[in-house]
Amino acid sequence: MTSPRPRVVAAPAPEASARADDALAFLAELSRSLAVSLDLQQTLSEVITRLRDFLGVEGIALFLFDARREVLECRICSGPVDVAGMRLAPGQGVVGRAAAEDATQLVTDAANDARVWRAADEATGFATRSLVCAPLRTAAGPIGVIEIVNRRDGRPFSSADARLLELVAAPAALAINSARMAGELLEQQRLKREFDLARHLQKSLLPRRRRDDFPVLGVNRPAHEMSGDFFDHFELADGRIAFVIGDVSGKGLDAALLMVRAAGLLRWIGKQGLAPSAWLAQANQELVETVREGRFVCVVVGYCDRAATRVQFASAGFPPILVHRDGQWSEQIADGPPLGIVAGIEFAQHEVELGDGVFYAFSDGATDVRDANGARIGLEGLRALIDRHAQQSPAARVRALLGDLRRMHLVDDTTLLLIQAPQAELPELLYTRVLPARADALRALRVELRAAFDAQHIEPTLRDRLVLAVDEACTNIIRHGYGACGEGVIALRALRHDAVLTIELVDSAPLTDPARLKPGTLGECRSGGLGIAFIDTIMDQWHIEPLADGSGNRLVLCKRIESWSHAEADEA
């Protein structure tokens, strides 16, 4: 660093004792201003300008390590020669030594000190007489070095100067570190926003669940932010329904990007209505030409008719297809290699008479799930899980299955596609019980209902309110329905249909006049009508109707459960 010879002598340095007092005030002021700065460049300029003036030096420079800690780069300097951008290896020159040894270096006579790297002066034409370098220390080691060169009064730096530089280096290092961390945090937040956008976009590429009589149902659960799995279904002009389920090798962002490409390609080819074998052959050709670095795509493609009586499909390296029919399982193992590896492959084609059976295709994330002993559950484990929920409607079965898999621990992207003849979607029975219409039966009912609602992940506040509504309904039937006419029973069922909870209470009491069931006004200090008012407030809808044969009443309470709506949206 530089000052052409003969040097210009600047204002004399302050006296030592006055300097010590000033130093404290200066440090306090510097720390205060550094503490509020989160902008690195601004932070560095402040440090440099203030220090140069305060210390009365000709040159000052701040070197910081690069991200990989391989190079010390001068990020900012102030003095007759601009050395910003100068790069030093750790250990190189006095600056490099201060960093490598994590120790302050004082050079009183630069011309005769072996530590000095002379090439710097030769390059700049500057004459360094004396210098001090102090490491910028953090808990994780030095992040750089601060260097001062040549006192303006011409005297060499003393050990008091070195101590002073050490003192100011501490808050400077802290401020630089904070600014860096703030910068990293901002960058992380930006990346997260980008990731969220990408995830939403990727999810939006999957088809939404069809509510009409549609035979194909798919779900996808990414193991991380992005998924390498996908599924698709769409209708052709001739009435056939095309389906795709695939799994791209690898995980993470690169797999997700290839997934987007593969899914688009397979959909585009599938729209032509080619036979499944030709569909795969064409997609394979295209992917072999464009996919790099040993990536590949495992996939099943095929068609079914609207009634799902017959499924035609071809597989490329995908896990076996499972068909469940009349209580029997059959497997169809993939006979073609994954797409994107070898050109000119022919894929075999299969056809299954489905009848009232179910066609399942699972990505390997489902079979890779670990059981309690840490072993893969495999196809056998998966079949056992499906058997447990076989009686449920497709949507409820898929939900239950995913719930089981998640509880066991999903390690990979998991996707499943199910084909089954459409049927009127039956509500899922959550709880059923016939209880005596007596007040002393209510406590046990409440305990069981709470457990049933907990099992359905209904949050506790809502759960307790629902239990209260059912309790009030039973109380009403006991007091006013059966009342004087003695004992009877209440048949209670709790059902789930999509995101709606329905509770049905059937009694054999004399017919109730619905007009008699008027909710009281809440907040009024009256003891009547409160139970109906509770039901009215807690539930979305309720009504009472006579049984068709006139043998009693049916009270129906309905409530949309928001958390169930969210879960449905996730599956769509």
Partner 1 sequence: MTANPNEILREDASGQVLIRLRGEVDLSWTQDVRRAVLAAFDAGKPVGIDLSAVDYIDSSGIAALVEGLQKARAQGLGFALVAPSAAVRAVLELARLDQVFKIVANAAALTAPA
Q: 423 exposed, middle or buried (CB, 10 Å; 0-12, 13-18, 19+)? A: exposed
CB-nearer residue toward partner 1: 115 or 438: 438
* Residue 14 and residue 23 in contact, taking contact as beta carbons nearer than 8 Å: no
Rounded to a whole number of angstroms, the minimum distance from the CB of residue 170 to partner 1 is 51
Q: 530 exposed, middle or buried (CB, 10 Å; 0-12, 13-18, 19+)? A: middle
CB-nearer residue toward partner 1: 279 or 482: 482
CB-nearer residue toward partner 1: 410 or 538: 538
CB-nearer residue toward partner 1: 464 or 498: 464
Rounded to a whole number of angstroms, the minimum distance from the CB of residue 479 to partner 1 is 7
Distances (CA, A) of 560 to 316, 493, 541, 557: 42, 16, 9, 11
- The CA distance from 427 to 424, in Å, is 9
Residues that bind partner 1 (CB under 8 A): 438-440, 442-443, 446, 461, 464-465, 468, 471-472, 475, 478-479, 522-523, 525-528, 530-531, 533-534, 537-538
CB-nearer residue toward partner 1: 440 or 513: 440
CB-nearer residue toward partner 1: 254 or 448: 448
Rounded to a whole number of angstroms, the minimum distance from the CB of residue 467 to partner 1 is 8
- The CA distance from 333 to 395, in Å, is 25
CB-nearer residue toward partner 1: 237 or 484: 484
Residue 221's H or E segment, with its range, is strand 216-221
Rounded to a whole number of angstroms, the minimum distance from the CB of residue 471 to partner 1 is 5
Query: What token pair was written down for 414?
Result: 């998991």
Beta 57-65 vs 72-78: how paired, if at all? antiparallel
The separation between the first and the last C-alpha atoms of the chain, rounded to the nearest angstrom, is 66
CB-nearer residue toward partner 1: 17 or 527: 527
Amino acid at 543: H
472-476, long-range: CB < 8 A, 24+ apart: 472/531, 472/532, 472/534, 472/535, 473/503, 473/505, 473/535, 473/555, 473/557, 474/435, 474/437, 474/442, 474/445, 474/505, 475/439, 475/442, 475/531, 476/517, 476/531, 476/532
Rounded to a whole number of angstroms, the minimum distance from the CB of residue 459 to partner 1 is 13
Rounded to a whole number of angstroms, the minimum distance from the CB of residue 490 to partner 1 is 13
CB-nearer residue toward partner 1: 158 or 475: 475
Query: What token pair was written down for 184?
Result: 């990293």
Rounded to a whole number of angstroms, the minimum distance from the CB of residue 450 to partner 1 is 10
Rounded to a whole number of angstroms, the minimum distance from the CB of residue 462 to partner 1 is 11
Rounded to a whole number of angstroms, the minimum distance from the CB of residue 486 to partner 1 is 16
Query: What token pair was written down for 236?
Result: 């052709």
Residue 241's H or E segment, with its range, is strand 241-248
- The CA distance from 14 to 20, in Å, is 10
